[in-house]
Structure 1
Amino acid sequence: MNWVTDELSSGRLHIGDHLPSERALAETLNVSRNSLREALRVLEALGTIQAATGSGPRSGTILTAAPEQALTLALNLQLATSHVEHSHVYEVRLLLETWAAEHSDPDRGDWDSAERLLKLMDDEQTAVADFLHLDAEFHVLLSRAAGNPLISTLMDAMRTSIADHTLARAQALPDWTATASRLRSEHRGIFEALRGGERTRAAELVRQHIRGYYLETAS
């Protein structure tokens, strides 16, 4: 793991590159192939590499560097042990998403993709689980306009970690149709404010949006 980090830091390896063969890498690191395989399994679980069998350019072990996967695993463990509660996730979401709105730059936003997500959520036949998945993707996409990849990575990890809990809470609501209608309207308002460069207004709309849904589903 240290070797991979050093190779990435030095620029000798880049995202998308193939790692050397197991045999060559074991010889380079002076470890057994069994020890190497254990380390590779950990790296794959953390989203650092992707191993694929077969032939072709996507076979072998490739550096992928998907940090949200590692963060999701860590957060899942924290939630499972009740060390971190869902109210804590709500508070962090407020901090991250309002900061992202306050620092958003309209020129960095992928507004076409965001509008596509809004249109998909406008379909009233969309299942609750699908709506929530689109909702999560929408929020993460908007945060990228702030130009801080760590913010969107943390948001992606958090929303993935609480997906099952969020779905259970949504399905327990007495009138999901009314809730979904309100969320669509709020999403559109946030989208228009960010696209128009109204960062202060967008941040306040985000705050109201997150707080309102949390209070509605916390009861």
Structure 2
Amino acid sequence: MKTHERVMAWVTEELQSGRLTIGDHLPGERALAEALGISRGSLREALRVLEALGTIRTSTGSGPRSGTILTAAPEQALALALSMQLATRHVEHEHIYEARLLLETWSAEHAELGASDLAAAEALLDRMDDPALAVPDFLELDAEFHVTIARAAHNPLLSTLMDALRTSIADHTRERAEALPDWPSTAVRLRSEHRGILERLRADDRAGAAERIRAHIRGYYRETSQSAPTPDA
């Protein structure tokens, strides 16, 4: 077993037993290394891996926020894995499209948006109405709108997947958008479609919202596929 796996197994056991909870500090470096029977150098390397995976957060200094703290950011590890899949082209544009259809139509069908959720979604769309908004800024707000709907389905695993997907495909999505021949016209259409989705959710018409999201994702996939940048040889 690799060192970071030993440390992860220890953390998992401590969480399952209730001896540790999210937000707790891990023991000091010396004490933890001795408890696990590993060198402090090996422990440091293992902790770097766990930090990259979103399991812990480390910070220097003094005070309650210093030291090594258990966190709950599984989307960080998923985003890293998805980014590698995209980089090696094991995951293609079509796969992203299919995953979005599955995740987002289900989310719309089960979404329960309260007044604060609706207000947050409306505020995002209002910000997207700015015609001078740069493409990356528009896409960031666009992604947050979709994630807001996903969170309203109250499925933490689905929300984690959506957060990870949003992070991992940000560059890919920007490249596709910037390759479009007439982004301003596309942006106008996307704004209208987003408003239609929110209108259906506000009316508690989840089936209608799901159908609009399905058409929204399909339309954008077809458009970006036609003008996709050619990958490097």
Which TM-score applies when normalising by structure 2? Answer: 0.90
Pairing 1:106-185 to 2, within 5 Å after superposition? 106-107=113-114, 110-185=117-192
Which residue identity lines up with residue 64 of structure 1 in the other structure?
T
Measure how far apart 1:12 and its partner are.
Answer: 2.0
Measure how far apart 1:108 and its partner are.
Answer: 8.7
Measure how far apart 1:102 and its partner are.
Answer: 0.9
Pairing 1:169-208 to 2, within 5 Å after superposition? 169-208=176-215
Between 1:127-136 and 1:56-65, the stretch displaced more is 56-65
Pairing 1:80-95 to 2, within 5 Å after superposition? 80-95=87-102
Name the CA distance, whole Å, in 1 between partners of 2:52 and 2:115: 31
Identity %: 72
Name the CA distance, whole Å, in 2 between partners of 1:86 and 1:9: 38
Which TM-score applies when normalising by structure 1? Answer: 0.95
- Could you tell me which residue of structure 2 aligns to residue 67 of structure 1? 74
Which residue identity lines up with residue 53 of structure 2 in the other structure?
L
For this pair of structures, how many residues does the alignment match?
Answer: 219
Contact conserved, 2:108 with 2:210, CA < 8 A, in 1? yes
RMSD: 1.4
Pairing 1:92-103 to 2, within 5 Å after superposition? 92-103=99-110
SS in 2 for 1:110: helix
SS in 2 for 1:82: coil
Summarize deviations over 1:106-157 as a string: whole Å, max 9, x none: 3497222212211111111111101101111111111111110111211111
- Which structure 1 segments of 5+ residues have no match? none
